[in-house]
């Protein structure tokens, strides 16, 4: 069974699932995260370094393309990334997916300052 998570942006909440990968499991083990977001194109990203105690989650199978609604992690800065139409600047670990087309709320609400990511 995939681990279910919630992305809480304050004014709306998105449901997501994490994949059955080593990096996704490590990500899940450190929940919850409170992430200050940077908006770049159709992507949000922000550091989770503090929750990891300065360590990174490693690298398993970085991918150069992430579909809309994709959740990714990169150890280059220990960022969690939420994609809603943007291509990654570099290959990242594709660790999860927002359920159905809920990610479209990000297109309509691109000015988010932070997100809380927690277990559903």
CATH number at residue 24: 2.40.100.20
- Res. 1 pLDDT band, cuts 50 70 90: low
Domains: count for the chain:
1
Looking at the predicted structure, is the pLDDT value of residue 19 above 60? yes
From the list 78, 102, 74, the residue with the least C-alpha distance to 89 is 74
Give percent of the chain with pLDDT exceeding 90: 92
**Neighbouring C-beta atoms of residue 91, cutoff 10 Å:** 16
The model's pLDDT over 29-81, given as tens digits with 9 standing for 90+, comes to: 999 999 999 999 999 999 998 888 878 999 999 999 999 999 999 999 999 99
> Sheet of 3-8: strands edge to edge?
33-36, 114-119, 3-8, 13-18, 93-98, 70-74, 79-83, 43-47, 38-40
The residue segments making up the domain with residue 30 are 3-119
Determine the average pLDDT of the residues in 87-93. Answer: 97
Looking at the predicted structure, is the pLDDT value of residue 87 above 80? yes
* pTM (two decimals): 0.96
pLDDT score, position 54:
78
- Give first-to-last CA distance, the chain, whole Å: 13
pLDDT score, position 51:
82
Residue with tokens 């220990």: 78
Kindly state the tokens that stand for 41.
Answer: 């194109």
Give the C-alpha separation, 53 to 62, whole Å: 22
């Amino acid at each position: 069974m995939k681990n279910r998570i919630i992305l809480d942006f304050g004014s709306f909440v998105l449901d997501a699932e994490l994949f059955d990968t080593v990096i996704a499991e490590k990500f899940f083990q450190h929940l919850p995260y409170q992430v200050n977001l940077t908006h770049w194109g159709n992507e949000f990203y922000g550091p989770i370094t503090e929750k990891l105690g300065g360590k990174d989650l490693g690298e398993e199978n970085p991918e150069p393309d992430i579909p809309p609604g994709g959740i990714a992690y990169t150890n280059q800065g220990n960022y969690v990334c939420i994609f809603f139409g943007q291509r990654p600047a570099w290959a990242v670990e594709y660790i999860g997916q927002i359920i159905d087309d809920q990610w479209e709320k990000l297109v309509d609400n691109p000015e988010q300052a932070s997100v809380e990511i927690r277990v559903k």
